[in-house]
């Protein structure tokens, strides 16, 4: 999920963690660098999903999660010029050990649910993805490249969902398309 960098990072992150906790996920560990060069790393175990705000002030922050359906997952916070993203990394074995169509649909549904309370600029679903596109450039990039399995773009009271040529495994084909989904957002 990608946001303009004017969001309140701490509040937004805690809303994401609250959602994941309700879905049966727990944060077990955090690691981050104290410097931009990535030379001074700190790692902490996390108990009862208690996140200290200074964890979010570091560089290359990564949280390890465990849960009922996905055993080993990480969330990375990627800060770029003008925007920030939360990337949920699934281990390849987690993706291919499940029905790929079903897991992609479940992730898409989770992002739609999250949009109700956490209105992101865009979110993508795919394998080995990085937050590289500024929110202002996403739609243009989609017109030029169809490299994403699923992209959700927030438009206030609706989402535009784009489907690329393949599912999240990068191998299974899907029909390229676009749909609009009205979303009643919580205040």
Residues across the chain: 187
Q: How far apart, in whole angstroms, are the C-alpha atoms of residue 176 and residue 72?
A: 30
Q: How far apart, in whole angstroms, are the C-alpha atoms of residue 26 and residue 70?
A: 11
- Position 12 scores a pLDDT of 92
How is the chain split into domains, by residue range? Answer: 2-182
| CB-based contact 51:14 (threshold 8 Å) | yes
- Give the model confidence (pLDDT) of 145-187 as tens digits: 767 899 999 999 999 999 999 998 888 899 999 999 999 866 5
| CB-based contact 122:153 (threshold 8 Å) | yes
- Give the model confidence (pLDDT) of 78-90 as tens digits: 989 999 999 888 7
Average pLDDT over residues 68-82: 81
Query: Nearest CA to 140 among 162, 108, 117?
Result: 162
Taking the whole predicted model, whether its pTM rises above 0.85 is answered as: yes
CA distances from 91 to 70, 105, 149, 169 (A): 9, 17, 17, 11
């Amino acid at each position: 999920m990608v946001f303009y960098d004017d969001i309140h990072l701490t509040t937004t992150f805690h809303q994401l963690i609250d959602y994941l906790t309700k879905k049966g996920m727990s944060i077990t560990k955090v690691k981050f660098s104290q410097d931009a060069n990535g030379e001074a790393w700190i790692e902490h175990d996390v108990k009862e999903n208690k996140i200290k705000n200074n964890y979010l002030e570091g560089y290359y922050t990564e949280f390890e999660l465990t849960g009922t359906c996905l055993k080993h997952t990480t969330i990375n916070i990627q800060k770029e010029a003008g925007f920030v993203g939360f990337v949920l990394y699934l281990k390849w074995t987690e993706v291919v050990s499940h029905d790929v169509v079903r897991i992609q649909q479940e992730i898409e549904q989770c992002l739609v649910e999250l949009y109700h309370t956490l209105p992101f600029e865009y979110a993508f679903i795919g394998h080995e993805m990085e937050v590289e596109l500024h929110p202002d450039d996403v739609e243009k990039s989609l017109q030029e490249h169809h490299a994403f399995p699923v992209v959700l773009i927030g438009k206030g009271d609706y989402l535009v969902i784009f489907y690329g040529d393949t599912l999240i495994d990068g191998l299974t084909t899907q029909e390229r398309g676009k749909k609009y989904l009205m979303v009643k957002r919580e205040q």
